[in-house]
Amino acid sequence: MKFIFVDNPNEGGIKGAQVFKNALANNAKTFGLATGSTPISTYNEITKSNLDFSNKISFNLDEYIGLKPTNPQSYHFYMNKYLFSVKPFAQSYLLNGLATSEEAELARYDRLLEKYPIDLQLLGIGKNGHIGFNEPGTPFDLTSHKVKLTESTIKTNSRFFNNINEVPKYAFSMGIRSIMSSKQILLEAYGENKADAVAKMINGPVTEQLPASILQTHQNVIVIVDEAAASKI
Ligand code: GLP
């Protein structure tokens, strides 16, 4: 793992956008994208830049089940708002949280991921060490799957909703196996509420109880952290 220590998320965004720029220079074709508050500064830097993704492909990590793409809490909406409206890709794939056949939707995503291998995957990290929506206990060898969100994640993510009852209980997520297939991974973490998860990700045992710990076994990971998130390393 290579570490980039930054003073704040804004500086992290500058470094994050640089990683995207380098990937483009190395002819990356497919980008794995993340949501949450963490990647916003990177997306802001990308939208201000002259980086061009118009002939690239993107995949998103996850989506809530049951939210329409027009729902401001959906990850479809988030991606349009923070990135795609300014930096469109040739094709952007997201899991469809309204799919009538969940099985068919997951199979569709896996087929696409096999067809277009990810060159750079962006990740945040949950307070409990989840990546995408791969909660603690998720087998490392899963591809796309349906997730029952943990109470911890529902509570943490309720800050984006009017009240906790509006937070969906289920989501679709790309699996850890798909994430690990990416050529390069960029994980960003900011703030002291990420400090435990970051420390365990780096120094703890590689265990399904802390999904991000699997990244210790990937050959090409860049971690951008601020001082607070790095405080327990
Ligand atoms: C959500 C997302 C993750 C994200 C995590 C952290 O549950 N599914 O992809 O990394 O929360 O979010 P934040 O960046 O807002 O702390």
The Cα–Cα gap between 66 and 51 comes to 33
The answer to whether residue 56 is domain-embedded is: yes
Q: Give the HSE-up count for residue 100: Cα atoms under 13 Å, Cβ half-sphere.
A: 0
The answer to whether residue 55 is domain-embedded is: yes
- Ligand 1 centroid to Cα of residue 9, in Å, is 15
Read off the pLDDT band of 33 (50, 70, 90).
very high
The answer to whether residue 231 is domain-embedded is: no
Q: What is the mean pLDDT of residues 25-48?
A: 98
Q: Which CATH number belongs to the domain containing residue 154 in this structure?
A: 3.40.50.1360
Q: Give the closest residue (by CA) to ligand 1 atom 12.
A: 36
Q: What is the mean pLDDT of residues 146-168?
A: 94
pLDDT of residue 63: 98
Q: Residue 170 is part of which domain span?
A: 2-224
pLDDT of residue 119: 98
pLDDT of residue 88: 98
Read off the pLDDT band of 205 (50, 70, 90).
very high
Q: Give the closest residue (by CA) to ligand 1 atom 10.
A: 124
The fraction of the chain above a pLDDT of 70, given in percent, is: 100
The answer to whether residue 232 is domain-embedded is: no
pLDDT of residue 128: 94
Based on the structure, what is the number of domains in the chain?
Answer: 1
Give the chain's mean pLDDT. 97
- Ligand 1 centroid to Cα of residue 73, in Å, is 13
Please state the pTM of the whole predicted model: 0.97
Tens digit of each residue's pLDDT (9 = 90 or more) over 211-230 = 999 999 999 999 999 999 99
Tens digit of each residue's pLDDT (9 = 90 or more) over 101-143 = 999 999 999 999 999 999 999 999 999 999 999 999 999 999 9
The answer to whether residue 233 is domain-embedded is: no
The answer to whether residue 230 is domain-embedded is: no
